[in-house]
C-alpha cells in the first residue's frame, strides 16, 4: 500500500528546527521573544498590512476582532454560510446572533448581491460581517467592502485558508477592518497551531494585544478593569512560523500547480466543475474543490480511501447546522447545492504529478 496522501499535510521548509534551536539557546521558550516579532513582521511585509498580532489560533483572532469592535449580546453579525465553523464560533462566544448569507455561483463565496439585499431590507442593522475566502479563493471582496462601507457595517475577513491569495494584487485579509490568518496543521503554512490578526488600525491591534494578554492595565502591580484572554502565540511556534513564511510563495505556486494537474487530468470528464477563480484574482488553491453533476461524492471518497487517499465533502453550510436552527439567513440554494455535489481532493504540497494522476484515474474509474 502507498503512503497515505492527506488533504493538506504539513510541509516544513527545513529551517524550522534551526530557529527552534535558537529559541532554546536564548531560553525565550515563552511567553514572547524575538521570533514572535519576526513572525508578525514577516506577515506585515508579505501582506502589506500595517499591524499584525500573533495569537494561539485563527478562531482566537476572530474572537479578538469581534471583542475590539465591541460586538456583544444581542448584536447581529453577518457571516458566509458556506464556511467552516471556526469562522462563526466567536459570534456565539460574544453572545451575538449570526446571520448567514449564501454564496454566488461565480465565486462559491459570499454573494455581494444577497449581502446588499439583506442590508437594504433588514430591520436591525448588523454590526459586522465575517466573510470567508473559502478554500483559498477570493470572495468578491471589493464589492463586499464597498457594501459594508455604504451600510456602516464592520468587515472582518476570514482569510484563514487564503494566505497568499490576492485580488488586483492586494492580499486577502487586507481589504477589511480586520483580517485573520490561520496556521493550523492543515493550512497552507502551519505552526502546528497558530493565528494572526491584522489591521491597518494601530489602536485596534494594540487593544487586541491587551485583551490577548489578560487585559493587564499598565501598572507594576496587577490591575484589571476589563476581562481578557490568554491568546498570545509562544516564541517556539513563532520560530516555526518564520521558517514557514520563507516558502509561502513556493507553496502557493505548488498548490496552484496541483490544481492545474487535476484540471488537465479530468478535462474530459464533463460532469466535473472546479471551484471558479474570480477574475483579476489569484487564489492559493489551498484545496482543489469540485462538484460532480451525477455521481454521489460518497462513492468517490470510498474509492479514494481504498487507495489510501484522503478526500472530504465540501463544508456543510452553517444555516443547515442544527446548532444554528433558529438563526436568520438569506439563502438561495447555492451553498446547499455545493454541499450536495462537492468534494475536496488531496492537495498536499508534498504531492507529485504521479499522485494526482493516480487519484484522477481512480475518480474516472468510479464515474464509469
Ligand X SMILES: *Cc1c(COP(=O)(O)O)cnc(C)c1O
Least distance from ligand X to the Cβ atom of residue 158, Å: 5
Beta bridge partners of 272: 292
Residue 286 or 297: the one with the smaller Cβ distance to ligand X is 286
Please tell me the distance from the alpha carbon of residue 328 to that of residue 99, in angstroms, as a whole number: 5
Least distance from ligand X to the Cβ atom of residue 130, Å: 9
Please tell me the distance from the alpha carbon of residue 331 to that of residue 313, in angstroms, as a whole number: 20
Least distance from ligand X to the Cβ atom of residue 86, Å: 3
Least distance from ligand X to the Cβ atom of residue 236, Å: 17
Residue 84 or 108: the one with the smaller Cβ distance to ligand X is 84
Q: Cell match 485579509: residue?
A: 173
Least distance from ligand X to the Cβ atom of residue 15, Å: 22
Q: Which H, E and C letters describe 215-265, residue by residue?
A: CCCCCCCCCCCCCCCECECCHHHHHHHHHHHCCHHHHHHHHHHHHHHHHHH
Least distance from ligand X to the Cβ atom of residue 160, Å: 4
Please tell me the distance from the alpha carbon of residue 309 to that of residue 129, in angstroms, as a whole number: 36
Which positions ≥6 away from 303 have C-beta within 8 Å? Answer: 362, 363, 365, 366
Least distance from ligand X to the Cβ atom of residue 79, Å: 10
Please tell me the distance from the alpha carbon of residue 96 to that of residue 276, in angstroms, as a whole number: 32
**Interacting residues with ligand X (CB under 6 A):** 57-59, 83-84, 86-87, 132, 158, 160-161, 182, 184, 195
Provide the angle, in degrees to the nearest 10, between the axes of the packed helices 16-26 and 235-245: 150
Q: Cα 216 to chain center, whole Å?
A: 30
Please tell me the distance from the alpha carbon of residue 115 to that of residue 117, in angstroms, as a whole number: 5
Residue 69 or 360: the one with the smaller Cβ distance to ligand X is 69
Q: Which residues of 106-132 are buried (b: 16+ CB within 10 A; e: fewer)?
A: ebbbbbbebbbebbeeeeeebbbbbbb
Residue 189 or 363: the one with the smaller Cβ distance to ligand X is 189
Q: Which residue is nearest to ligand X (CB)?
A: 58
Residue 80 or 362: the one with the smaller Cβ distance to ligand X is 80
Residue 86 or 358: the one with the smaller Cβ distance to ligand X is 86
Residue 36 or 358: the one with the smaller Cβ distance to ligand X is 36
* Greatest pairwise CA separation for the chain in angstroms: 72
Least distance from ligand X to the Cβ atom of residue 80, Å: 8
Beta bridge partners of 78: 99, 129
Residue 132 or 235: the one with the smaller Cβ distance to ligand X is 132
Least distance from ligand X to the Cβ atom of residue 312, Å: 12
Q: Cell match 475577513: residue?
A: 157
Residue 131 or 239: the one with the smaller Cβ distance to ligand X is 131
Please tell me the distance from the alpha carbon of residue 276 to that of residue 299, in angstroms, as a whole number: 24
Amino acid at each position: 500500500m502507498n503512503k497515505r496522501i492527506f488533504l493538506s499535510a504539513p510541509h516544513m521548509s527545513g529551517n524550522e528546527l534551526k530557529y527552534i534551536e535558537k529559541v532554546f539557546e536564548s531560553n525565550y521558550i515563552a511567553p514572547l521573544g524575538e521570533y514572535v516579532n519576526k513572525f508578525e513582521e514577516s506577515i506585515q511585509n508579505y501582506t502589506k498590512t500595517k499591524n499584525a498580532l500573533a495569537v494561539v489560533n485563527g478562531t482566537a483572532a476572530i474572537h479578538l476582532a469581534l471583542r475590539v469592535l465591541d460586538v456583544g449580546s444581542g448584536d447581529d453579525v453577518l457571516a458566509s454560510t458556506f464556511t467552516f465553523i471556526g469562522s462563526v464560533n466567536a459570534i456565539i462566544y460574544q453572545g451575538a446572533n449570526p446571520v448567514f448569507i449564501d454564496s454566488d455561483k461565480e465565486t462559491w463565496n459570499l454573494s455581494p448581491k444577497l449581502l446588499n439585499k439583506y442590508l437594504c431590507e433588514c430591520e436591525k442593522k448588523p454590526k459586522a460581517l465575517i466573510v470567508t475566502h473559502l478554500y483559498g479563493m477570493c470572495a468578491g471582496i471589493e464589492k463586499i467592502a464597498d457594501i459594508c462601507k455604504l451600510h456602516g457595517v464592520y468587515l472582518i475577513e476570514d482569510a484563514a485558508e487564503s494566505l497568499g491569495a490576492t485580488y488586483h494584487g492586494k492580499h486577502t485579509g487586507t481589504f477589511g477592518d480586520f483580517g485573520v490568518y490561520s496556521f493550523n496543521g492543515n493550512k497552507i503554512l502551519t505552526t502546528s497551531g497558530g493565528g494572526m490578526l491584522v489591521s491597518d488600525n494601530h489602536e485596534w491591534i494594540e487593544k487586541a494585544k491587551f485583551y490577548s494578554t489578560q487585559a493587564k492595565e499598565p501598572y507594576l502591580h496587577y490591575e484589571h478593569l476589563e476581562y481578557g484572554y490568554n491568546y498570545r502565540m509562544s516564541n517556539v511556534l513563532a520560530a516555526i512560523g518564520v521558517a514557514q513564511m520563507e516558502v509561502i510563495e513556493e507553496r502557493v505556486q505548488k498548490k496552484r500547480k496541483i490544481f492545474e494537474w487535476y484540471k488537465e487530468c479530468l478535462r474530459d470528464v464533463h460532469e466535473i466543475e472546479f471551484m471558479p477563480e474570480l477574475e483579476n484574482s489569484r487564489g492559493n488553491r489551498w484545496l482543489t474543490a469540485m462538484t460532480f453533476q451525477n455521481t454521489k461524492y460518497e462513492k468517490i471518497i470510498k474509492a479514494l480511501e481504498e487507495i489510501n487517499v484522503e478526500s472530504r465533502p465540501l463544508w456543510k453550510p452553517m444555516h443547515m447546522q442544527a446548532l444554528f436552527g433558529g438563526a436568520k439567513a438569506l439563502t438561495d440554494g447555492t451553498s446547499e447545492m455545493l454541499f450536495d455535489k462537492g468534494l475536496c481532493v488531496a492537495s498536499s504540497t508534498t504531492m507529485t504529478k504521479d499522485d494526482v494522476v493516480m487519484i484522477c484515474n481512480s475518480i474516472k474509474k468510479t464515474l464509469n
